[in-house]
Amino acid sequence: MVKRRALAASVGSEACNHTFRASGITNFLRNDGSRNDFQKIAAHEDIRTIALYDRRADKISLNEIERIRL
């Protein structure tokens, strides 16, 4: 359902239910949450599951962009 709705909204075919999970985990970690705490909250048995959804490295920050001087 998520993929179908995302395509209908022209969001792209990349969106799925795991997109929301990754967004939640990534935002939690960006706001100083720890992987161990999220593992407990989400009741994941393996910490590696949290690492799969951690998308912090995918986003380029404004500070990184401002390093480019023309």
Q: For position 21, what pLDDT does the model report?
A: 84
**Count: domains in the chain:** 1
Query: At 24, phi and psi to the nearest 5?
Result: -65, -45
pTM above 0.95, yes or no: no
Residue matched to tokens 């239910």: 17
If one compares 11 and 39, the residue with the highest pLDDT of the two is 39
Tens of pLDDT, residue by residue over 13-62, are 677 777 888 888 999 999 999 999 999 988 888 999 888 888 888 877 66
Say how many C-beta atoms besides its own lie within 10 A of residue 53's C-beta: 19
For residue 50, what are the domain limits?
A: 2-66
DSSP 32-63: T--HHHHHHHHT-S-HHHHHHH--GGGSPPHH
Instruction: Report the C-alpha gap between 16 and 6 in whole angstroms.
Output: 8
